Structure 1
Amino acid sequence: MAESIYDRVLTNIQTDPPTTALDPRLFEEATVLLPQYLAGTPDRLEKRQLLMRYLAADLTNNGRSDHAPAVGLLIKLFDGWTWQQVCDFGTSSIPYKDGLEAGEHMVCFNRLMLCLLSKATLRAPDAAHAASMLDTMQALVRLWLCTPDTGIATAAADVLYKLMKVDLPIEGYQQPPPSWRSVTTGAQGWVWKRVFEDGGVYNVFFECCSLKLGTNTLSKSQKTIAQARLMEWLPKIAALDWHALRTTHKDVEDTYRVTGGLLDFAALHMVDYRDDVLMYKCLIDFYAELLSTTAKLDTRTMAQDDSLGLQYLIMHGLHARTAAIYFQVGPVDPVETAFLYGSAANYISVYASEFPTHFLTGQMPGQVNKRLRHTLDLTPGKWAHADSPKNDLHVLVSLPRGALLPFTASPVALLPSKSTNPDVLNSLATLFHGPGDKSLTLPMTLAMTSITAQDEDAAEGAAARNLYFHYLAAYPCFWQDIAAHADTVALGDLALSALHCLKAVITSNWYPTHKRTAPDNLPSLPSSLIATPETGVQAILAPPALEYTLPYLLKPAPSFSNLVGGRGDAASTTYKIAMAKYEVLRAFYRRLVEVAERSPEEGYDDILRKVGTKLAEGPMSREGEVGGWVETMEL
């Protein structure tokens, strides 16, 4: 069958007249069968080469109305090839420049050229060879910025990024290689030199993205699309080599009346943020991504709370300008706020989570808390039924937990547990859980602390525990509300978020006492009216949680299986809730086993036996299922 398809494809390509349309169905079958068939033996490999040359030659046939079938098959036949094999196939005869021309009619040719160039992204010498093709590199950058096809733009940006990544010397492309390394081996930075030091290639960035002095062949909307693509790509390059973005090319930059390299152009000059609110939103997202991708870069100052990206944004006033949008300082344009507020909130979230020490040392904690107390001060009806303030909740859970104490002035105190929504419960889950699991292990003792990330996590764990018990003192019905939400199958998202909250406390990474935390930012725990165990699983077994959480976890999962009319979506929801509840029970069992091993005298054996029996029944045990769905029907 494959041999027959091979012959039919050759016949279809060579059919006279050359304007004959290719058979899409035939080429679809060939794309599936021929790549595997034309492999292995020398005879088949020779047939493969012959077919590929016929397909390549047919691409120059201007009479064809659609070259997409031939291109799709040719791309599949190139699978597994190296850059050297592509070059042997005919570098001089492959029209990279013409094939990378932007335009809707060129999409299939763009795909082929990008496929071939991607072969050079696997080895530094191959990338250097591709960099030597000036016209190709210039066309690649122009295609990425100017093509109307989003998929082609993404693929072109990816090829360019991978070429630069594989060709980046360890010491950076601007630094001379160490004497011990041969200049003929390893990455030499030729792609970087081509992009940032060749005036023809470097000029393309400004030509396609400058609104005032760029090319006249692109409309303003096309230029703003190019700007957005450039801002999406630059943070990735900054993470590879920050100093490359600060490289200047005086002749090109003088033409466009800018200085400071490509980063200055994009961050300070390129976007008309005063008159284009959508591009201003993209610009703020660019700042946030720049913060995130450069958070781990060496500042050469040994400062653990700083980064090159943060330094840059602060130095140019961009940090303060973006924060002012979130704080709503001065006259507020409601239209501008509607577009920019979410991006500004995300910027604050990234800043607070990536640079917690820097955040805590300034005035920002007080300003953010003031803003959150304003935006989260809602009536129970709005919390339950209106749109949730997702942006502000995102900021809240991104803050260092120490910034949310003391509790009397904390915006966390405004989050309700009864008339609530899934976003609130998920936010409480994040706050109460503490830091991630990467460095804290139970049991946690003072001997584990150090002046490192582990020490910071310990501080977060102590603050999380403090927040939980203060919240429980302020909302003594919290666990009653959580159990009620988790048992309300009709509100599936709310039930799942309540289970998430329960699991977050059970698996929390708390820390009882942090030696480096001052009393003024980590207040004492609430009065002795409530128990304050050291771990989350013990907190679940202490009043007031014990009365509601354990009975709920041991109760059979509700089901709609006995309703007339089939299972439907309700059954799907009950299954998701039952599985989530089962996972919570498993987490409870594992954590309690750990506690019991450390403190066998506490008498957890009976609880472990009951939970083990419940786990053995599986997530969809059927005892007493009627009560679960009767409550739901009554809603």
Structure 2
Amino acid sequence: MADDLLNRVEQALREDPETTTLDTKLFEEAELLLPSYLAPPTYTTNNAGSAEQVVVPGQVSTSNSDGLWEKRLLLMRHLAADLMDSRRSNHTPVVNLLIKLFNGFTWTQVCEFGTSSIPYKDGLGVGEGMTSFNRLMLCLLGKARGKASDAEQAAGMLEVMIAVVRLWLTTPDTGISMQAGELLFDLLKVDVPPQPAQSRENWRDRPAGGGGGQGLVWKRVFGDRDVYHVFFESCSLEYGAEALSKNQRTIAQARLMEWVPKVARLDWGMISRSHHREVEGKFKSTGGFLEFVALKMVDFKDDLLMYRCLIDFFSLLLKTTADLDTHTMAQHDSLGLQYLIMHGLHARTAAIYLQTQPVDPAEAMLLYGPAANYLSTYASVYPKHYLACQMAKQVNERLSHTLDLTPGSWAHNDSPKHDLHLIASVPRQSLMPYDKSPIALLPCKTTNADVLNTLATIFHGPEEHVVTFPATEVKNAEQDANEGAAARAIYFYYLAAQPHFWRDIVIHADTIALRDLALSAIRCITTIINANWSNTTTPATITYLLPSTTLATPTSGHLAILSPPALEHILPYLLSPPKTFANLVGGRGDAESSAYQVAVAKFEALKALEVRMRGQVERSPEEGFEEILGTVQRRLGMGVLPQGAEVGGAVGTMEL
């Protein structure tokens, strides 16, 4: 069968392309079968020290595998030759098969196949009908990303590297652009030079570790004038290539802004310094590559959509460079944050959200969300820096304004999701003291799913670190302890202010008709059970005064669930059978699906409680928790939907 398929493919390639078209189905069958049938022979060494052939699972077994490999190479050459025939109107079937046959090839094998005869430059051209050729050329060049020496050899082809950069930035095909951008990044990544032990500049500008390359790819991309020029001419609105429209240039800008933060993570110094002053001067940018991208390239005054992209670029730069310590007197800083602050970009972006001055309505509509996300990234990635400046106070004042809504607005209007995301991202310490905290404005009765998810995130405390072996030092342990203590205090203050909180949560969780609201209510239960609260006090840990009420204030979340006022609502709810809609006329429709999702979430919450209770019983066997644990385990043994599950569900109503 495979031989017949191979012969039919060869016959199709021999036919006149002007009078016949390739059988797409035939080539799709060939893609599935021929790569494994024409696989290379696999050898291993036996106990006697001689080589013997072995069969690889999934590979067609044959005693003539060397001959099959020759057939594979011959077929690949015939396919490659067909690509050079301009009479063929559609080369896609040939390219797809050729890419499959190149699977498993190393860069050395690609070079042996014919580096000099592979038209990389022409195949990387931008234009209609070039997509298939682009895919093939990028596939072949991708073989060089495995080793630094291979990457450096590929980078030695100057015209090819120029074509890759231009294709990445200017092609109208998004898939090809992503493939080219990833190729360029991977070549740089594998060629990162090792860090000299005594080089201060290197350990300042790079994260721990390093590659094993000589940096030749970096020298080609940033050190070669012609390659460097392509970045500027493809992205500059005022002085760029005339052949590119404004739309094409703004697309190139967006692609470059997505790529630069990842490269900055590999080598900040290479991104931030000047390389070719004559090129940069031509495009009115004298401060280096990063200055062009962050300060000069985007027309942020007149193009609000690109301004959105620019703010997203700032956020990504903050996140990716968090480990690049400045090693200066500035505490809890990074090279990315320092750069944004020094050039006024940090304050300018924050001002869009804080709205301390009148803002154009169109600008507010388009930029408010990205600016809030920028502050969310800043506050979550650099919590100590955030707490040490005036930004925390300003953000709280803004949140207190935006979250001060009527019950009807919370229930029926769109949530202020950007503000909710921000309040869930800031350090919990910044939300204390409670009497001035915007948390107090979040409702639990007439509410929505976004609010409940936000409360769940805040009440849970910091993320728990995964235990690994060998054990690694946990970064920011002191910060996590303070965050856990703050989360516990916020929970009990909120509970004192909203004594019917858990009653409302159970009502929402039982309102299956409002699935998202029900799931978010159950998430509140689960996150409190699994809360990561600080129950140890170190000299550096912040201690918070808890509210002056008669409420019990346990040090762990699962004990808080088993204490009033949660106890009388949550445990009976979790132990009760889930509601279903099986009685509705019409069978199992979407309502049944929603009911099942809510039932599963409820079951998972009970499982989380069982895990915590088992640990509690082991630590405190004489405190009477065994009976509760046994009851929980018996309910879990019945499964998600036990026999006799309650039929029907609460009608989704809102009390105004």
TM-score in terms of structure 2 length: 0.91
- Match of 2:591? 570
Tell me how far apart the structure 2 counterparts of residues 98 and 174 of structure 1 sit (CA, whole Å): 44
Is the 1:104–1:149 Cα contact (8 Å) retained in structure 2? no
Q: Does 2:364 align with 1:337?
A: yes
Q: CA offsets per residue over residues 357-416 of structure 1, 9 Å max, x none?
A: 100111001100000011111111111111011100010011000000111111110111
Q: C-alpha separation between the residues in 2 aligned to 1:172 and 1:571? A: 63
CA contact (8 A) 2:496 2:549 kept: no
Looking at structure 2, the residues matched to 543 and 472 of structure 1 have their Cα atoms a distance apart, in angstroms, of 10
Following TM superposition, by how much is the alpha carbon of 1:89 offset from its aligned partner in structure 2, in angstroms? 0.3
- C-alpha distance in structure 2 between counterparts of 1:47 and 1:584, whole Å: 60
**Aligned-pair distance for 1:452?**
5.4
The one of 400, 413, 420 equivalent to 1:373 is 400
Aligned residue for 2:622, secondary structure, equals helix
Which position in structure 2 is the counterpart of 1:488? 511
d(CA) in 2 for partners of 1:615, 1:298: 49
Amino acid in structure 2 at the alignment position of 1:152: I
Does 2:545 correspond to 1:524? yes
Q: 1:394 to 1:545 in 2, by over 3 A?
A: same
- 8 Å Cα contact 2:482/2:541 also seen in 1: no
Partner of 1:498: 521
Shift of 1:632: 3.5
State the identity %.
59
8 A Cα contact 2:600 2:640, kept in partner? yes
**What SS does structure 1 have at the residue aligned with 2:105?**
coil
C-alpha distance in 2, partners of 1:247/1:99? 33
2:500 aligned with 1:477: yes
Match of 2:272 among 246, 261, 273: 246
Distance in 2 (CA, whole Å) between partners of 1:29 and 1:527 is: 75
1:135 equivalent in alignment to 2:159 = yes
Q: How does 1:111-510 map to 2 (within 5 A)?
A: 111-171=135-195, 186-248=212-274, 249-301=276-328, 305-438=332-465, 453-510=476-533
* DSSP-derived class of the 2:129 partner: helix
Q: CA deviation at 1:12?
A: 0.8
The Cα of 1:528 is off from its aligned counterpart by 3.4
Instruction: Tell me what 2:603 maps to.
Output: 582
* Paired amino acid for 2:147: R
Kindly provide the CA deviation profile for residues 166-206 of structure 1, in whole angstroms up to 9, marking residues without a partner as x: 0111228997999xxxxxx9311110000011000000000
DSSP 3-state at the match of 1:104: coil
Aligned residue number for residue 44 of structure 2: none
Paired amino acid for 1:566? G
633 and 459 in structure 1: CA distance in 2 versus 1, 3 angstrom threshold: closer
Distance 1:463 1:191 in 2: 48
Question: In structure 2, the residue corresponding to 1:602 is in which secondary structure?
Answer: coil
Would you say the 8 A contact 1:20–1:64 is kept in 2?
no
Q: Is the 8 A contact 2:580 2:645 kept in 1?
A: no
Could you tell me which residue of structure 2 aligns to residue 182 of structure 1? Answer: none
Deviations 1:524-568 (A, max 9, x none): 101132110111000001111001000000000111223331111
* Distance (Å, rounded) in 2 between the aligned partners of 1:624 and 1:136: 67
The code of the aligned residue for 1:29 comes to E
Could you say what secondary structure the match of 1:457 adopts? helix
* 2:16 is equivalent to residue 16 of structure 1: yes
- Cα offsets for 1:407-441 (capped at 9, x unmatched): 11111101111111111111111000001110799
| Structure 2 residue 564 is matched with structure 1 residue 543 | yes
Instruction: Tell me the CA shift for residue 304 of structure 1.
Output: 5.2
| Cα distance change, pair 263–54 in 1 and its aligned pair in 2 (3 A) | same
Maintained 8 Å contact 1:465/1:512: no
- Give the CA deviation at 1:324: 0.2
> What is the CA–CA distance in structure 2 between the aligned matches of 1:383 and 1:296, rounded to whole Å?
39
C-alpha contact 1:589 1:608 (8 A) present in aligned 2 = yes
Aligned-partner SS, 1:600: coil
Out of 589, 596, 607, which is 2:628 matched to?
A: 607
The 3 A distance-change label for structure 1 pair 138 and 440 is closer
In the alignment, what sits opposite 2:118?
94
> Is the partner of 2:77 in helix, strand or coil?
helix
> 1:181 is matched with which residue?
none
CA distance in 2, matches of 1:409, 1:523: 15
Check whether the contact 2:272–2:290 (CA below 8 A) recurs between aligned residues.
yes
Q: Is the 8 A contact 2:486 2:544 kept in 1?
A: no
How far apart are 1:330 and its partner, in Å? 1.3
Q: Which amino acid aligns with 2:154?
A: A
- Change in 2 beyond 3 A, CA 1:437/1:518: closer
The whole-number CA distance in structure 2 between the counterparts of 1:515 and 1:87 is 62
CA contact (8 A) 2:461 2:487 kept: yes
Structure 2 SS opposite 1:485? helix
Partner of 2:32: 32
8 Å CA contact 1:305, 1:358 repeated in 2: yes
- Aligned residue identity for 2:650: E
Q: Secondary structure at the match of 1:526?
A: coil
Equivalent pair of 1:350/1:398 in contact (CA under 8 Å): yes
* One-letter amino acid of the structure 1 residue matched with residue 524 of structure 2: C
Question: Could you tell me how far apart the structure 2 residues matched to 1:50 and 1:440 are?
Answer: 53
Residue 210 of structure 1 aligns with an amino acid whose one-letter code is S
Which runs of at least 4 in structure 1 moved beyond 6 Å after TM superposition?
172-178
> Which whole-Å CA distance do the structure 2 matches of 1:302 and 1:490 have between them?
56
1:621 matched to 2:642? The reply is: yes
| Shift in Å, 1:215 | 0.7
Post-superposition shift, 1:630?
A: 4.8
Provide the C-alpha distance between the structure 1 equivalents of 2:495 and 2:287, rounded to a whole number of angstroms: 53
More helix by share: 1
Cα distance in structure 2, aligned partners of 1:204 and 1:426: 46
Native 8 Å contact 1:2 1:33 kept in 2: yes
Amino acid at match of 2:484: G
Task: Provide closer, same or farther for how the CA distance between residues 479 and 634 of structure 1 changes in structure 2, counting only shifts above 3 A.
Answer: closer
C-alpha distance in 1, partners of 2:94/2:475?
58
Classify 1:477/1:465 alpha carbon distance in 2 versus 1 (closer, same or farther; 3 Å). same
Q: 1:492 to 1:166 in 2, by over 3 A?
A: same
Asked whether the equivalents of residues 435 and 460 of structure 1 are also in contact (C-alpha less than 8 Å), the reply is yes
CA contact (8 A) 1:209 1:223 kept: yes
8 Å CA contact 2:459–2:488 kept in 1: the answer is yes
Q: Deviations 1:338-368 (Å, cap 9, x if unpaired)?
A: 1101000000000000000100111001100
Superposition CA RMSD, Å: 2.1
Distance in structure 1 (CA, Å) of the matches to 2:31 and 2:320: 39
Structure 1: where are the runs of 5+ without partners? 179-184, 442-449
Partner residue, 2:207: none
Query: Number of paired residues?
Result: 617
AA aligned to 1:287 is: F
Residues 237, 177 of structure 1: CA spacing in aligned structure 2 closer, same or farther, 3 A cutoff?
A: closer
Task: Select 1:552's aligned residue among 569, 573, 577.
Answer: 573
Amino acid across the alignment from 1:598: R
Kept after mapping to 2: 8 A contact 1:425/1:498: yes
